[in-house]
Amino acid sequence: MTDSPSETTSPPADAASSADDTAELAAAVAAAVGGTVAQAEFGTAKVAVERGNWSAAITAARDEAGLDFFNWLSAIDWTKETTLGEGVAEPDAVEERFEVLCMLSTLTDSRKVIFSVDLAKDDASLPSLTPLFGGAEWHERETAEMFGIDFAGHPNPVKLYLPSEFEGHPLLKSFPLLSREVKPWPGKVDVEDMPSTENPEAPPAEAAAENDDGASE
């Protein structure tokens, strides 16, 4: 933290030491679980794990590295092209895959590590972590419905957030945000006429503003 009150910006005084801590943590955990250090900057330790080693690695993290607090589990959809927002910085350098992330931390100090495993898109399945952590149940259900990843051995693989008739996996980069583009307007459904006005026939114009970059700030 800065000392003099009138300074405006300066990098954190102990950034160097905390960066070292992160690097140390990442290296130690990677060694304990049999993975490799994927990142140790910005205060975030990320350990990459092989797909076949997923359950064993998480078990080792919990039992040997002391990371017994299940924080969250989710995924990233890496694609070369995207229909909305901005995509990856270098599309050619990116490999199309799912990266499943599981973060574990401790309740004794500030250690937290993200474990990542890469899955091919056409074979997106992973063993479920529910035998190890009860909380994985809901997180895996959400990841499964948002990305289409299959978690083998999950006790209750039904959709968590979305209605059961929902088609598609929303968080994929290929899933457009304009819902009416995917499904047409269902028409007059259960709607009574107002006493003296008419119902509009045309669907409301969906704001195409999501794709516009708003003015800054």
Partner 1 sequence: MTTPPEVMMHLSEAAVSVELETAEMTLNIGPQHPSTHGVLRLVAKVDGERVSEVEPVIGYMHRGYEKLTEVRTYPQITALVNRIDWVSGFANEIPFMVAAERLMGVEAPPRAQYIRLILTEMARISSHLIFASSYPLEIGAATPLMHALRERERILDLLESVTGGRFHPNFNRIGGVKPAAGAGATTKKVSQDLPAGFLDETKVAMERVVSVCDDLDGLVSGNEIFQARTKGVGVIPVDIAKSYGVSGPNLRASGVAFDIRKVDDYLPYDRFDFDVAVGENGDCWDRYQVRLEEIRQAARIITQAIDDIPSGDLQAKVPRIIKVPQGQTYVRAENPKGEMGYFVVSEGGRIPYRVKIRTASFSNLSILQWILKGILIPDIIAILGSLDFVLGDVDR
Nearest to 64 by CA among 119, 106, 118, 16: 106
Six-digit token string for 63: 């039992």
Q: Contact between 127 and partner 1 (CB under 8 A)?
A: no
Q: Which residue has the tokens 């229909």?
A: 83
Q: Binding marks (x or -) toward partner 1, 82..101, rule CB under 8 A? A: --xxxxxx-----------x
List Cβ neighbours of 188 (8 Å cut-off, separation of 6 or more).
199
All residues at 6 or more sequence positions from 107 whose CB lies less than 8 Å from its CB, including other chains: 68, 69
Binding mask 51-80 for partner 1 (x = CB under 8 A): -----------------xxxxx-x-xx---
- Is 48 near partner 1 (CB under 8 A)? no
Nearest 5°: phi and psi at 36? -125, 155
Is 55 or 71 the residue whose CB approaches partner 1 more closely? 71
Does residue 125 bind partner 1 (CB under 8 A)? no
| Residue 28 in contact with partner 1, rule: CB under 8 A | no
What b/e readout covers 55-75, taking b as 16+ CB neighbours within 10 angstroms?
Answer: bebbebbbeebbbebbeebbb
Looking at 121, 138, 150, 168, which residue binds partner 1 (CB under 8 A)? 138
Q: What residues line the site for partner 1 (CB under 8 A)?
A: 1-2, 5-12, 18, 39, 41-44, 46, 68-72, 74, 76-77, 84-89, 101, 103, 107-110, 112, 114, 133-135, 137-139, 146, 159-163, 170-171, 173, 175, 177, 210-211, 213-214, 216-217
